[in-house]
Amino acid sequence: MVRYRVRGGNALRGTAFIQGAKNAVLPMIGAALLAPKGRTVLRNVPIIEDVRRAVELAEAVGAYVELHESERTLVIDASRVDSPVLPARIARRFRGSVLFTPALLHRLGEAIVEGVGGCNLGSRNLDFHYLGYKRLGAIVDEEETVIHVKASGLTGATLYLDTPSHTGTENLIMAAALANGTTVIENAALEPEVLDVIDMLTKMGARISGGGTGFITVEGVDELHAVEHTVMPDRLDAGVFAMAAAITGGELSLVGTGLDLGVVRYKLEQMGVEFARQGAVLHVRSEGKLRPINIITDTYPGFATDLQSPMMTVAALADGTSYIHERIFDGRFALAGELNKMKANVEVDGSRAVVRGRTPLTGTQVTAHDLRSGIALVLAGLAAEGETVIDSGYLIDRGHAHLAARMRALGADITREISER
């Protein structure tokens, strides 16, 4: 059992090193399994629990994987992939497991998905993935919890996503990359992580055009080869550090090449946080006095749902009433009850929340219901009076690497503890 203990009151100052993106590296590990020869090298890999699970899953299907933690490098040899089963004991622990399906389909002609995990955020359907595979010629058997996808070769088709699903787009691109003929994916996701995955697949020999336009065309090729690729910076990790500076009246230099916070930066600027780009470094500074804000989550380039939770903490510390409308997930507000235990004033009505600030937050024992509510509670702890203890730290470790050490280096009083329970 991992828990985080935070004592609030310290302003965060110094240089924050932003990790590689969780939501880019997971599909890249899935993509590496598409290469039947040679070894793939991934650089700037975040050392997070989801990556450890992805390594276990790649090994479970037969690949040989080395995770060099201090070098933040993964070496993946997928010349042997011999099991179509994504076993429940690993696959149910993270969402990224769904991204292994295309490689198993291409390499073995079938994938048996014993479950898919990830944050508990309400309904998280996979129908676009499976309908897409069917349109490409696969047979999909959906039993109770096990999904069996079979195909003796896929054929290009026109696919349409009802909403631009992030992993759905990545999976269908990977399925189409080795299909026979041309695939068009309409209403494809625009997230920068999806574009980074397209970059890697293109280096591997895939023929993909239209990334970032919503209409992606994939010309199938016969084989993909192993490459070296550097994972893009994690804009969610960066957003959290910017928010940590914002709520503690701190000043941080965010290091992570080419980092663009987009709408998150503009919203924080509206709240009174100052940003300055200094070449490759993004400088963030705050006096600690924040104005309220309105947030509507959306797919990229809208406000990322994954940063909605930490932003709720920031709103609780702003002077005045903020309004949040969550449009992507129907179960993303479990955080409100936990923040209220810390004396915040958050009222939830369906997909909308009203956050009345600023109430001085008080440390207490709180529960992370998912990765982002966990990190939002860490932020609350940094600004609260007294001590905040957050269980389960595993959820935070799913997406943030060496969080306590990185925050302590900036002056935070935070420890990561492991107990028997």
Ligand X SMILES: CC(=O)N[C@H]1[C@@H](OP(=O)(O)OP(=O)(O)OC[C@H]2O[C@@H](n3ccc(=O)[nH]c3=O)[C@H](O)[C@@H]2O)O[C@H](CO)[C@@H](O)[C@@H]1O
Ligand Y SMILES: C=C(OP(=O)(O)O)C(=O)O
| Closest residue to ligand Y, based on beta-carbon distance | 118
Least distance (Å) between residue 403 CB and ligand Y: 14
Q: Strand, coil or helix: what is 57?
A: helix
Least distance (Å) between residue 233 CB and ligand X: 15
- Catalytic residue among 74, 104, 119, 401, which? 119
Chain positions 341 to 370 lying near ligand X, rule: CB under 6 A, are: none
CA distances from 302 to 116, 190, 272, 277, 306 (A): 26, 10, 20, 21, 11
Token duo for residue 292: 């309220």
CA nearest neighbour of 109 among 175, 143, 60, 153? 153
Applying CB under 6 A, does 46 fall inside the site for ligand Y?
no
Residues with Cβ within 8 Å of 395's Cβ and at least 6 positions away in sequence, in order, are 119, 368, 369, 370, 371, 373, 374
Q: Which helix (H) or strand (E) holds 293?
A: none
Applying CB under 6 A, does 123 fall inside the site for ligand X?
yes
CA distances from 185 to 44, 133, 178 (A): 29, 12, 15
Token duo for residue 125: 């359907």
Applying CB under 6 A, does 374 fall inside the site for ligand X?
no
* Shorter beta-carbon distance to ligand X: residue 172 or 379: 172
Binding residues: 22-23, 95, 306, 328
Stretch touching ligand X by CB under 6 A, among 122-130, 148-156, 252-260, 336-344: 122-130
Q: Could you identify the residue written with the tokens 């939770």? A: 309
Among 67, 126, 334, 409, binds ligand X (CB under 6 A): 126
Binding residues for phosphoenolpyruvate: 22-23
Stretch touching ligand Y by CB under 6 A, among 99-107, 113-121, 240-248, 338-346: 113-121
Among 11, 21, 26, 264, binds ligand X (CB under 6 A): 26
Active site residue 254: no
- Residue 239 dihedral angles phi and psi, to the nearest 5°: -60, -40
Stretch touching ligand Y by CB under 6 A, among 101-109, 115-123, 337-345, 379-387: 115-123
CA nearest neighbour of 24 among 196, 165, 258? 196
Q: Rg for the chain (alpha carbons), in Å?
A: 21
Which active-site residues does the annotation give? 119
Can you give the binding site for ligand Y, defined by CB under 6 A? 94-95, 118-119, 121, 306, 371-372, 399
